[in-house]
Structure 1
Amino acid sequence: MKSVIVTLLGGAVLAASLSAVAQVAPEDQIKFRKAGYSYMSWNMGKIKAQVIDGAVEYNQQQVLAAATTIDAIANSGMGALYGPGTEQNVGNQTTRANPELFNNFPDVAELSGNLNQATANLVAAAQADDQGQIRAAFGQVGQACKACHDKYRMD
């Protein structure tokens, strides 16, 4: 039942976000989605350095801020940035999105829903200030990202 709800929610988010596509040129859609994913990656790196690697001293507020940022981006309607014409390079913007992504929006919506759930779990773990939970939730986010990358990201 939970996976059905996640799929339906992901589909609703994707459908709502696609309605905003007409407002953003394809070249800008690619640029904005790349920026969003880069910012998510940077924040994942902050958590990794503090909780996984221990390369930086743990600071609960910094980890919570990073987790909240990742969750906000994941739930920001990024699906709107996969509009027509963005399955290929446009202008000076290159994309690594596999064109198959654009033919499989129901699967993408499910993967997106899984990411949204994983990022929510990461925020909850950071709020609880439990490094064990943060590590587990961080792994869930990584797996959710990887699931989409493995199917729909070109090298």
Structure 2
Amino acid sequence: MKPMLASSVLGLAAVVLASTAVAADLKPEEQIQLRQAGYSFMGWNMGKIKANLQGEYNADQVSAAANTIAAIANSGMGALYGPGTDKDVGDVKTRVKPEMFENMEDVGKLAHDFVAAADNLAEVAQGGDPAEVKAAFGDLGAACKACHKKYRAD
């Protein structure tokens, strides 16, 4: 089990470093567009989970959506908040508040909480218990809102 954990950690570190290197080559407007696409895709998958919790529950669909959210959360999207992405760039609009870039320690904590909640949801969803998924989904929503409340403009 330990070799698997070590290889997973090394693999994740490689993805994060590669994501950072690739993001550095992107223009600010491209970084904004990519991060918005990632959050939109996460939102779509959260909508699938919400629909399952409110209607007929399909454990496979919920698990797939939760795994997708966790994968995006762990993808190194923080690298897409580079210099110049704190404001609109041409026709590319952003709702991020500039003060986010002044509070990186707080942002790091919020990001850590978000990733932990996404990972937990993916793990819980594998069990297939709708009540447990609902609780974990609520925790993920709270983690999203914690950042939105501070650092996302209306």
Amino acid at match of 1:103: E
Give the conservation status (yes or no) of the 8 Å contact 1:18–1:83.
no
Q: TM-score, normalised by structure 2?
A: 0.86
Amino acid at match of 1:125: V
1:78-102 C-alpha deviation (Å, 9 max, x unpaired)? 1011000000101221000000011
Structure 1 residue 77: deviation in Å? 0.5
RMSD between superposed Cα atoms in Å: 1.7
Rounded Cα–Cα distance in structure 1 between residues aligned with 2:146 and 2:63: 24
Structure 1 residue 19: deviation in Å? 4.9
Amino acid at match of 1:117: A
Amino acid at match of 1:122: L
Query: 1:38 corresponds to which residue?
Result: 40
Matches within 5 A, 1:24-35: 24-35=26-37
SS in 2 for 1:94: coil
Query: 2:60 corresponds to which residue?
Result: 61
Amino acid at match of 2:44: W
Rounded Cα–Cα distance in structure 2 between residues aligned with 1:28 and 1:111: 24
> Structure 1 segments of 4 or more deviating over 4 A?
15-20
1:1-21 C-alpha deviation (Å, 9 max, x unpaired)? xxxxxxxxxxx9xx9555543
Query: 2:120 corresponds to which residue?
Result: 121
Rounded Cα–Cα distance in structure 1 between residues aligned with 2:63 and 2:133: 10
Rounded Cα–Cα distance in structure 1 between residues aligned with 2:123 and 2:23: 31
Amino acid at match of 1:120: D
Which structure's relative contact order is higher, taking Cα pairs within 8 Å and 6+ residues apart?
1
**Ranges in structure 2 where 5+ consecutive residues have no aligned partner:** 1-12
**Ranges in structure 1 where 5+ consecutive residues have no aligned partner:** 1-11
Q: TM-score, normalised by structure 1?
A: 0.85
Aligned length: 140
Structure 1 residue 23: deviation in Å? 1.3
Asked whether 1:148 is paired with 2:150, we answer: no
Amino acid at match of 1:119: A
